[in-house]
């Protein structure tokens, strides 16, 4: 008996192991919406070009709508023997509309079909991720505006460096996420070309109109080379690269939340919504949501690495290796979506421990740079000399076990006689942050400007027409 999928060329069905390794329906059924959407656009173009009759086109379109309704209602049976989402849809379509269903595959191949489906799915997901990232940016900017003047320690090398503010720190992530959104937007712009009509690899002899199909599916244009059309997975790689960088940003923030919520830092607190307890230690409140965001980053990066390895040795044009693009892409982008949602929840939930933050901001002689700047600004001292003088004063304070602001004027003048009483005006952490008024600095007035700028930008984006 011949194989029902491949007809006369094959005299028997596949071995069980072949069926197991070859089937992709278990995961590519996620493409069902995109597959049906692409098929509808394709058959509409075939009718417009007179390649199929309008009657057949209507029957096929109505049948595809019926398949859509069945899958959406959970009434569709996916068959592994039919390998993939394309054959599952087409087989059911044939049951509904009869022989006319066989005309749907005119002037296309599963090669250009799956390339189109994947582009549509990735594009749809990128749009959804962009909306989530904008929401997270909004949550951060709102929290930053509310805590623009909340003094906290700023670190380099995870050592106390200079006082900053909680609002300023949160806005750093707003900027990072803005770049992430830019990378996704760039990837979306390049992926927005339609492979449908490239057929297996060489195009088709039928008089198709690829521009009509591309326009119907919301693409900017059809792809320009049929070989590249079915071979290209750059769009998936770019999306995964952008996702990996974004996941790393979320992981860095998650790590800070983990540190900040420890008793040793005690800078912020999370409620029961985003923490868990211990089965043995009743006092514990573990920042599990943040830890999971940090951990899941590995899955996103892993998907990018895996797809790069799959693609690196493939000749033109399509090879079955490319079936391995889907699971990693699906998992990585869905994982990133979950991580963004968790991070937005934590941002809205977290509350700063203001007194602890302010106290910690003054530890480690964090206003030493303010002292050096004062020496330069007031005494006209070269910065390198001021750096040396400040270092000696810090050493004196350390020997005495006190903060810089606790040294007497006489003790400072023993190091540098020209120092005056005015120096104490720059040694408090609040005065320190207020003085950082340069563009993008940590001064509360500047933080408020930046937070309001972002909130206005996000509101403007939200009001713009959907693309």
| Token digits of residue 155 | 């670190």
Sign of CA pseudo-dihedral 234, 117, 106, 46: negative
Active-site annotation holds for 157:
yes
CA 81 vs CA 9, 16, 180, 344: distances in Å: 18, 10, 41, 42
Of 12, 157, 205, 438, catalytic: 157
Helix (H, G, I), strand (E, B), or coil: what is residue 317?
coil
φ/ψ of 428, rounded to 5, equals -85, 145
Give me the DSSP letters along 91-134. Answer: HHHHHHHGGGGGGTTTT--HHHHHHHHHHHHHHHHHHHHHHHHH
Q: 195, 123 in Cβ contact below 8 A?
A: no
Cis peptide before 317 (omega within 30 of 0): yes
What is the spatial distance between Cα 290 and Cα 370, in angstroms, rounded to a whole number? 34
Helix (H, G, I), strand (E, B), or coil: what is residue 159?
strand
Active-site annotation holds for 408:
no
According to DSSP, the residues that pair with 162 across neighbouring strands are: 154
| Token digits of residue 134 | 């904008």
CA 323 vs CA 25, 89, 266, 318: distances in Å: 11, 18, 48, 10
Of 2, 65, 276, 278, catalytic: 278
Would you name the residues annotated as active-site residues? 157, 278
């Amino acid at each position: 008996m011949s194989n029902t999928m491949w007809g006369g060329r094959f005299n028997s069905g596949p071995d069980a192991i072949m069926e197991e390794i070859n089937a992709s329906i278990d995961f590519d059924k996620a493409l069902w919406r995109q597959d049906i959407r692409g098929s509808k656009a394709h058959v509409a173009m075939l009718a417009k070009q007179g390649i199929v009759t309008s009657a057949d086109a209507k029957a096929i379109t109505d049948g595809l709508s019926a398949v859509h309704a069945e899958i959406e209602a959970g009434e569709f049976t996916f068959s592994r023997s039919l390998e993939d989402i394309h054959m599952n849809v087409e087989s059911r379509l044939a049951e509904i509309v009869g022989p006319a269903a066989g005309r749907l595959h005119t002037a296309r191949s599963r090669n250009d079909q799956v390339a189109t489906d994947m582009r549509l799915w990735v594009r749809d997901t990128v749009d959804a991720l962009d909306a989530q990232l904008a929401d997270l940016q909004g949550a951060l900017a709102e929290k930053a505006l509310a805590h623009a003047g909340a003094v906290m320690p700023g670190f380099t090398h995870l050592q106390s460096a200079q006082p900053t503010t909680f609002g300023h720190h949160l806005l750093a992530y707003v900027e990072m996420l803005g770049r992430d959104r830019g990378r996704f937007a760039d990837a979306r712009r390049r992926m927005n070309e339609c492979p449908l009509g490239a057929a297996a690899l060489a195009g088709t002899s039928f008089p198709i109109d690829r521009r009509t199909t591309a326009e119907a599916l919301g693409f900017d244009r059809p792809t320009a080379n049929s070989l590249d059309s079915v071979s290209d997975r750059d769009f998936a790689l770019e999306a995964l690269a952008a996702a990996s960088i974004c996941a790393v940003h979320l992981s860095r923030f998650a790590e800070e939340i983990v540190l900040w919520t420890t008793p040793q830092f005690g800078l912020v607190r999370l409620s029961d919504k985003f923490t868990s307890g211990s089965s043995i230690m009743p006092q514990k409140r573990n920042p599990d949501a943040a830890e999971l965001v940090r951990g899941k980053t590995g899955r996103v990066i892993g998907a990018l690495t895996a797809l790069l390895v799959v693609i690196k040795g493939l000749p033109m044009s399509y090879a079955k290796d490319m079936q391995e693009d889907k699971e990693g892409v699906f998992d990585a982008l869905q994982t990133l979506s979950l991580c963004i949602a968790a991070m937005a929840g934590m941002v809205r939930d977290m509350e700063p421990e203001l007194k602890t933050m302010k106290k910690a901001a003054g530890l480690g002689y964090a206003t030493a740079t303010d002292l050096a700047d004062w020496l330069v600004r007031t005494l006209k001292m070269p910065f390198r000399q001021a750096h040396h003088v400040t270092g000696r004063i810090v050493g004196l304070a350390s020997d005495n076990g006190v903060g810089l602001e606790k040294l007497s004027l006489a003790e400072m003048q023993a190091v540098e006689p020209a120092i005056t009483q005015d120096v104490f005006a720059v040694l408090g952490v609040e005065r320190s942050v207020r003085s950082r008024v340069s563009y993008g600095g940590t001064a509360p007035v500047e933080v408020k400007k930046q937070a309001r700028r972002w909130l206005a930008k996000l509101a403007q984006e939200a009001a713009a027409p959907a693309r």
